[in-house]
Structure formats: structure tokens, C-alpha cells
């Protein structure tokens, strides 16, 4: 089968088709999406290191199943992010534990579906498991939520989920095109993260916000978040800090701070690991009912090392709106 390996340069290779374990699906890949974790892990592959098969966002068709698989059958269209501890999805066929897999939304193309899993799971867990919003909107309606990095992949789906949950969404975006994007996705207000946030929020009538989801840079906004969060508020972040964080500045307000890392369940084989498959199925339902819109902004074809390098370069530039995907093997 064809595969793309990081050596650290991205190269096309031929590899044997893997054999499913008891809980595995062998998925024939139709499309893949790229995420910051791809470029970060690629940067860690040095010259002379073993090559690494990256990619943790995909959509495809089940080609074979392990002996204990119960949720899927051969021929089922699926989407998944998978397990960062295993080979990624940048290959014609990959293995993934069925508990981490959801059905592909029928209304979405392969590329649109491939752009859902990693950011969809991250946004869902951040909002509904870390910030304790209610996906049904029955609890906490009207709470103010500041999303830092609103136009990125995670922010783009989080805006839509938070609005459905009844939150008042304030999204950060610094360029006219990214500001327009977050408004189209449903943000109630837009602020420019390249300018001081407090005056902008005050002008909108917010002296403080109930919740903050930082999908951008934890270090850069740590003191700002501590100042803007309301007493008894909650903050979630997804980008690891580069320097020590002073948790004491959150103490007086009794603020809760939580990390969100989508791969925690698979990395530690938590008892509720199957929750990720269930979340993906719920997201698929939302897309099929037209309650969520795709966040894909660009598709490259075919899937090969040259096009994946283009996608990595665009992602590393830091100005991507929504998600990037590659589709078809040519």
C-alpha cells in the first residue's frame, strides 16, 4: 500500500497492509486532514531517526475487522482521529480501535468528514466535559464564552457547538476574512486578539466572562485570562505552556482551570474510551440534520507527500482558517 512517512522530509513509500488486532478496524482511507500535532511531531523526527507515519484525522471505508469488533462491518463509511501512539492515517489503509471511530456523516464529502474528528472531539470535550456546558442547552443558557483562536480548526467547530448549547459566544479573530468566518459560524461578537481584549469586551458590555476556551496560546493569554474571567468561572486550554504558569492568580476568584487533550482516552486506555466513538456519532447526527456546517476551507488532491508538504507549510504559517484536507490517491 502507499504511505507517506516523515523522515523528517515527507516521502512516499510502499508498506505492507497491516493486520487488524481483536478490537481493530482496517480502514481504507479516502481523505485525511492535517492538524498542528502533525507538524509538531514531524519536527521531532531527526535525520537518522526511524521514519514516522503521521496523521490523526481521516475518513474512509472499513475493509476488515478484528474478531472482537461489534460496532462496524466491512463496507461501513467511518471517520476517526485515532491514537497518537499508533501509526497515523497518512496511508491507503490504517488500523484503528473501533471504540475511537464514528460513522461518516452522509451529507459530508470524504474531505469534509476527514476534517471533523480531531477538532470535533477536542471542541466537544473542551466545552462539555471541561467547561461543563450542556450540549442540549438546557443548563447554563446565556453564559458568556470567550473563544481565543476562533477561526482555527477547533474554534470553528466550538463556536457552532457553543451556540447550540446556548452560550453567548465571543470569538477572537484578527483579520477581516477570519472575522467574517467566525461570524458566519454563529459568533455573537468578535474581538481582535492583536489588540487589548479588556476594552473591547467592556465596549460590548462584558466586564468579565463566565468561561474561556483558549485554542491559541496558553502562555500569551495567561494573565489576560486571569483578569477577564469572572469569579467562579472556568478556563480550558489545549496548547501546552512553554514557561511555568502561576496558578495563584486564579485563586482569589476560585477559577477552575483544565487542560483538554483529545488523545488522553486512547493514550491511557481509560474505561470510557468508547465515549469518543459515541461523540463522533453525535457529531455525525448534527451534520446530517444540518445543525452544524463543515469547517473545511481547502482540499488538495491527490494524497501524496508533495501535497501533504504544502498543507503542513500552510498550517505552520499560522494563518489557516478552518481545516485543510487531502482527498483521493490518484
Position 57 in a domain: yes
Are 57 and 153 contained in the same domain?
Answer: no
**DSSP-derived 3-state class of residue 261:** coil
- 150 and 103 part of one domain: no
pLDDT for residue 67:
97
- Return the number of other C-beta atoms located less than 10 Å from residue 94's C-beta: 28
Total domain count for the chain?
A: 2
Position 140 pLDDT exceeds 80: no
CA distance linking residue 68 with residue 23, whole number of Å: 5
Amino acid 16: pLDDT? 98
- For 201, the 3-state DSSP assignment is helix
| Boundaries of domain holding 211 | 120-259
Contact between residue 156 and residue 112 where contact means Cβ atoms under 8 Å apart = no
CA dihedral 143, 146, 149, 155 (to 10 degrees): 0
pLDDT at 288: 98
Whole-number average pLDDT of the chain: 97
- Interval 11-27: pLDDT, tens: 999 999 999 999 999 99
C-alpha angle 125/80/308, rounded to 5°? 110
Taking CA atoms, 136 is separated from 166, 186, 228, in Å, by 8, 17, 27
Does some domain include residue 54?
A: yes
200 and 311 assigned to the same domain: no
* pLDDT confidence of residue 287: 98
Mean pLDDT of 207-233: 98
Question: In this structure, is residue 108 part of a structural domain?
Answer: yes
- pLDDT tens digits, residue range 234-248? 999 999 999 999 999
For 125, left (φ over 0), alpha (ψ -120 to 50), or beta? alpha
Q: Answer for the pair 256, 72: CB distance below 8 angstroms, yes or no.
A: no
Q: Which of 259, 278, 310 is the last residue of a domain?
A: 259
pLDDT of residue 139: 75
Q: Does 264 map to a domain?
A: no
Give this prediction's pTM: 0.96
| Whether residue 85 is found in the same domain as residue 130 | no
pLDDT tens by residue, 100-113:
999 999 999 999 99
- Each residue of 151-163: pLDDT tens digit? 999 999 999 999 9
| Residues 6 or more apart in contact with residue 73 via CB below 8 angstroms | 62, 65
CA pair distance 282, 310, nearest whole angstrom: 32
Instruction: Clarify whether residues 124 and 255 are in a common domain.
Output: yes
CB 277 within 8 A of CB 101: yes
Region 207-220: what's the mean pLDDT? 97
Alpha-carbon torsion 65, 67, 72, 78, what sign? negative
Cis peptide before 8 (omega within 30 of 0): yes
pLDDT of residue 276: 98
Return the pLDDT at 136.
85
Report whether pLDDT(50) > 80.
yes
Q: What CATH number is attached to the domain comprising 253? A: 3.40.50.720
275 shares a domain with 287: yes
Shared domain check, 213 and 92: no
**Is residue 155, in this structure, part of any structural domain at all?**
yes
Distance CA 169, CA 186 (A): 8
Q: Are residues 151 and 99 in the same domain?
A: no
- Pair (101, 126) in one structural domain: no
- Determine the average pLDDT of the residues in 219-227: 98
Q: Quick one: which of 326, 272, 275 has its CA closest to 57?
A: 326
Is residue 141 scored above 90 in pLDDT?
no
CA atoms within 13 A on the CB side of 43: 8
- Looking up residue 63, the CATH number of its domain turns out to be 3.90.180.10
- Helices 305-316 and 36-43 pack at an angle, to 10 degrees, of 100
Q: Which of 259, 280, 301 is the last residue of a domain?
A: 259
Tell me, yes or no, whether 206 and 222 share the same domain: yes
Q: In 3-state terms, the chain is what percent helix, strand and coil (to 5)?
A: 30, 25, 45
Which of 238, 259, 280 terminates a domain? The answer is: 259
Residues 94 and 41 in one domain: yes
Instruction: Check whether residue 18 and residue 97 sit in a common domain.
Output: yes
Q: What is the pLDDT of residue 31?
A: 98
Q: What is the mean predicted confidence (pLDDT) over 255-260?
A: 98
Amino acid at each position: 500500500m502507499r504511505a507517506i512517512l516523515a523522515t523528517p522530509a515527507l516521502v512516499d513509500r510502499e508498506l505492507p497492509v497491516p493486520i487488524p488486532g481483536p478490537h481493530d478496524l482496517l480502514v481504507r482511507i479516502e481523505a485525511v486532514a492535517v492538524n498542528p500535532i502533525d507538524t509538531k511531531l514531524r519536527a521531532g523526527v531527526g535525520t537518522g531517526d526511524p521514519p514516522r507515519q503521521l496523521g490523526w484525522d481521516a475518513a474512509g471505508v472499513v475493509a476488515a475487522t478484528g474478531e472482537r469488533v461489534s460496532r462496524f462491518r466491512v463496507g461501513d463509511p467511518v471517520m476517526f482521529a485515532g491514537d497518537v501512539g499508533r501509526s497515523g492515517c497518512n496511508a491507503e489503509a490504517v488500523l484503528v480501535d473501533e471504540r475511537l471511530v464514528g460513522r461518516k456523516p452522509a451529507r459530508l464529502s470524504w474531505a469534509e468528514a476527514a476534517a471533523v474528528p480531531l477538532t470535533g472531539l477536542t471542541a466537544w470535550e473542551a466545552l462539555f466535559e471541561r467547561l461543563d456546558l450542556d450540549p442540549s442547552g438546557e443548563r447554563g443558557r446565556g453564559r458568556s464564552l470567550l473563544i481565543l483562536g476562533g477561526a482555527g480548526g477547533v474554534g470553528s467547530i466550538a463556536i457552532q457547538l457553543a451556540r447550540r448549547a446556548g452560550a453567548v459566544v465571543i470569538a477572537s479573530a484578527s483579520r477581516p476574512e477570519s472575522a467574517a468566518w467566525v461570524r458566519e459560524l454563529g459568533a455573537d461578537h468578535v474581538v481582535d486578539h492583536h489588540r487589548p481584549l479588556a476594552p473591547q469586551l467592556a465596549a460590548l458590555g462584558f466586564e468579565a466572562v463566565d468561561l474561556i476556551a483558549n485554542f491559541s496560546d496558553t502562555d500569551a493569554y495567561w494573565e489576560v485570562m486571569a483578569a477577564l474571567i469572572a469569579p467562579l468561572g472556568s478556563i480550558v486550554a489545549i496548547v501546552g505552556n512553554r514557561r511555568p504558569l502561576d496558578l495563584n492568580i486564579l485563586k482569589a476568584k476560585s477559577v477552575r482551570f483544565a487542560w483538554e487533550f483529545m488523545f488522553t482516552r486512547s493514550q491511557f486506555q481509560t474505561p470510557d474510551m468508547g465515549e469518543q466513538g459515541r461523540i463522533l456519532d453525535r457529531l455525525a447526527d448534527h451534520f446530517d440534520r444540518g445543525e452544524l456546517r463543515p469547517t473545511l476551507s481547502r482540499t488538495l488532491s491527490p494524497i501524496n507527500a508533495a501535497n501533504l508538504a504544502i498543507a503542513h507549510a500552510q498550517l505552520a504559517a499560522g494563518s489557516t482558517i478552518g481545516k485543510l484536507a487531502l482527498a483521493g490517491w490518484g
